[in-house]
Structure 1
Amino acid sequence: MLSKQAQNSLTGWESHTLRIIKVSFKTKKEGISMNVIQCYAPTNDYNEDVKDQLYDRLQSIVEKCPTKDLIILMEDLNAEVGTDNTGYEDIMGLRERNKNGERFANLCAFNKLVIGGTIFSHKRIHKITWTSPDHYTQNQIDHICVNKKFRRTMEDVRTKKGADIASDHLLVAKMKLKLKKHWTMGRTTSQKFNMAFLRDTDKLNKFKIALSNRFQAFHDLLNGEGTTMESNWKQIKEAITSTCHEILGHKEHHYMEWITVDTLDKIQERRNKKAAINTSRTRAEKAKAQAEYTEVNKQVKRSIRTGKRK
């Protein structure tokens, strides 16, 4: 999902297997693009050949990015990157390292990518990106990296544990680099009409009357001599769009009309359960709160599906 600003700056994207996607954005720095490579790596006990293939593909993607561009490598890499940063001082801080972490650290060292989550000082709770189902084992296995050339554009990396998105991937990086609108030839900004107003009987009747009057005004012209299919189409289009503009108006925001009050209530309940998880003082309290959150999250998804069908 992209914000409107990011959407306007998008210059292209590429899908590389089911585990890797690369997205490019235009920035306000002249001639410099931002290439975001998002990856979901296999777990530590996965088949070695599969992991080798994934890291080979990652290497190939990074190599193809222009050296002048900003590269951001991010997401769930299932890699613990180490307590010993000997030989990796330029790209990482101190942490525990597993086999996936060795692969990941080597990839970053070879391509001069700085591992953001290891170089900023935070409390342990703001570094943890994964907690086991028993709530005992906790690791830092999600990472956000930038090429060393743009190290100063990264201001912070930490988890936002209060985010209510039903996911444990809560790592966020704060960057200084600003995005710029990317316009392509023939691209226009389209506005949508408030079609939801047609559900209102009074609005619907006004719309019918106004449209009927417009059609009546040029009825004879449509059937006159010298008219073409193209000219008739333009007249009909003008009648419909002008009526929509007058009666319905344009949408000021993107409304998800299928969201019901019941769904919004359940989303608020889920938000409260998330807060309960973060304020739990014992492991038992946290396990109970997590179970309740999971159940409410299922109810939210069920309510959304029901709303969309209506």
Structure 2
Amino acid sequence: MTLRLQLPTKKYLHLISVYVPTLPSPDEEKAEFYYELNHVINKIPTADKILLLGDFNALVGRDNSAWDRVLGRHGVGNCNANGFDLLTLCAEQGLTTTNTCFRLPEKYKTTWMHPRSKHWHLLDYIIVRRRDLGDVRITRVMRGAQGWTDHRLVRSKLRLHLKIPRRAPHKHPAKIDWEKLIKNQELTAKLDEAFHAGMPESMEDVSLDEGWRLYAKNLRGCASRVIGGPKRKNQDWFDDSDAEIRKLVEEYRRTLLSTDASERRGAHHGLKAKVRGLKNEWWANKALEIQYYADTNQTDRFFESLQTVFGPRYKKTAPI
């Protein structure tokens, strides 16, 4: 299984997940597997990164001098036939087994215990290109992971920067106050008239999809023009004091023409103090009103007042 991830440098990271035939498998089957894996790696551009990982059922040993830059200095055990095939592939493709590059206790390197000898072996590898070995922070075994498999989990930390995918911005359609149609029959008639005027006379030559798009576009356009959007239900403190605030701002703007800096500074501080006083007074009155509803057990008005102050919670709905 292969997966390609884009990097910011116009390159790609290719993840290749494998499961290699076991040691008792026929040689023809193993040769065919490595032939296909070699073919997959050859199709990857040389500038891209490779992350080859999985259960290789191979023992690569610790002969670092014979397999220079393929094996690290911290291998485990001896090499077998499957390990020789894996090391040959890595040498041909310029790959390095990251499991053998970090100095760790063997309990953090071995991944599988032989059921009869009870010896632990390293069978699962994470392999990268030699030049990308600097991207690997550490590769180690996570002990204690319980599951259906008798292999331990191998984790590798990499220093990579993936390119952020560019997604088309999803625009939510503007809300329409459909509740007006319940009480206003004249508005309903206007909407019907505008809708019929915007639709073509004949829909026989129009496909089903195109007809639906025309229908939806015409309906939403007519509703936006005729009905309009809903009014805001929540209250803000400056709405009730808008006239006074505008008057104070106009008086402050007149002082901006003055050449006296102290006068402008005093007017500025005075404006801030008066506006802050209006805000505190509004909140105090609103708090007294809500407290009165709570004391008189007017539960519906209590929660209605809270909702008008803080506003309803946002409900995300997917367009149909």
TM range (shorter): 0.5 to 0.7
Asked if the contact 1:44/1:78 (under 8 Å) is kept, the reply is yes
The structural deviation recorded for 1:250 is 2.4
The structural deviation recorded for 1:180 is 1.1
Distance in 1 (CA, whole Å) between partners of 2:49 and 2:137 is 15
Cα RMSD after superposing both structures: 3.5
* 2:68 aligned residue (89, 100, 104): 89
The structural deviation recorded for 1:139 is 1.6
- Per-residue CA deviations over 1:58-96 (Å, capped at 9, x if unaligned) read 111111211111111111111111132342021113332
Corresponding position: 1:159 with 2:138? no
**Counterpart of 2:197 in 1: which secondary structure?**
coil
Asked if the contact 2:7/2:161 (under 8 Å) is kept, the reply is yes
* 2:159 aligned residue (170, 173, 176): 176
Letter in 2 for 1:225: A
Given the superposition, is the C-alpha separation of residues 225 and 43 from structure 1 closer, same or farther in structure 2, using an over 3 Å criterion?
same
Counterpart in 2 of 1:203?
Answer: none
Letter in 2 for 1:110: E
Counterpart in 2 of 1:233?
Answer: 216
Counterpart in 1 of 2:97?
Answer: 115
Q: Please tell me whether Structure 1 or Structure 2 has the larger radius of gyration of its CA atoms.
A: 2
* 2:109 aligned residue (123, 127, 135): 127
Give 5+ residue unaligned stretches, structure 2: 201-210, 224-228, 231-311
Distance in 2 (CA, whole Å) between partners of 1:59 and 1:88 is 19
Letter in 2 for 1:32: K
Asked if the contact 2:62/2:71 (under 8 Å) is kept, the reply is no
Distance in 1 (CA, whole Å) between partners of 2:91 and 2:47 is 18
Distance in 2 (CA, whole Å) between partners of 1:232 and 1:133 is 69
The within-5 A match list for 1:219-230 is 220-221=192-193, 224-228=196-200, 229=211, 230=213
Distance in 1 (CA, whole Å) between partners of 2:194 and 2:85 is 71
Given the superposition, is the C-alpha separation of residues 67 and 214 from structure 1 closer, same or farther in structure 2, using an over 3 Å criterion?
farther
Letter in 2 for 1:83: R
Distance in 2 (CA, whole Å) between partners of 1:151 and 1:113 is 9
Distance in 2 (CA, whole Å) between partners of 1:221 and 1:147 is 69
**Counterpart of 1:90 in 2: which secondary structure?**
coil
The structural deviation recorded for 1:38 is 1.2
TM-score (norm 1): 0.57
Counterpart in 2 of 1:140?
Answer: 122
Corresponding position: 1:250 with 2:303? no
Asked if the contact 1:222/1:232 (under 8 Å) is kept, the reply is no
- Per-residue CA deviations over 1:123-147 (Å, capped at 9, x if unaligned) read 1221122235579242210000111
Asked if the contact 2:143/2:152 (under 8 Å) is kept, the reply is no
Counterpart in 2 of 1:277?
Answer: none
Give 5+ residue unaligned stretches, structure 1: 1-20, 193-209, 252-310
Distance in 2 (CA, whole Å) between partners of 1:72 and 1:250 is 39
Equivalences, count: 208
Asked if the contact 1:129/1:142 (under 8 Å) is kept, the reply is yes
The structural deviation recorded for 1:226 is 3.5
Given the superposition, is the C-alpha separation of residues 223 and 247 from structure 1 closer, same or farther in structure 2, using an over 3 Å criterion?
farther
The within-5 A match list for 1:66-85 is 66-85=45-64
Corresponding position: 1:98 with 2:70? no
**Counterpart of 2:53 in 1: which secondary structure?**
strand
Asked if the contact 1:79/1:104 (under 8 Å) is kept, the reply is yes
**Counterpart of 1:225 in 2: which secondary structure?**
helix
The structural deviation recorded for 1:190 is 5.2
Letter in 2 for 1:170: L
The structural deviation recorded for 1:233 is 1.6
Asked if the contact 2:94/2:129 (under 8 Å) is kept, the reply is yes
Asked if the contact 1:154/1:174 (under 8 Å) is kept, the reply is yes
Given the superposition, is the C-alpha separation of residues 233 and 39 from structure 1 closer, same or farther in structure 2, using an over 3 Å criterion?
same
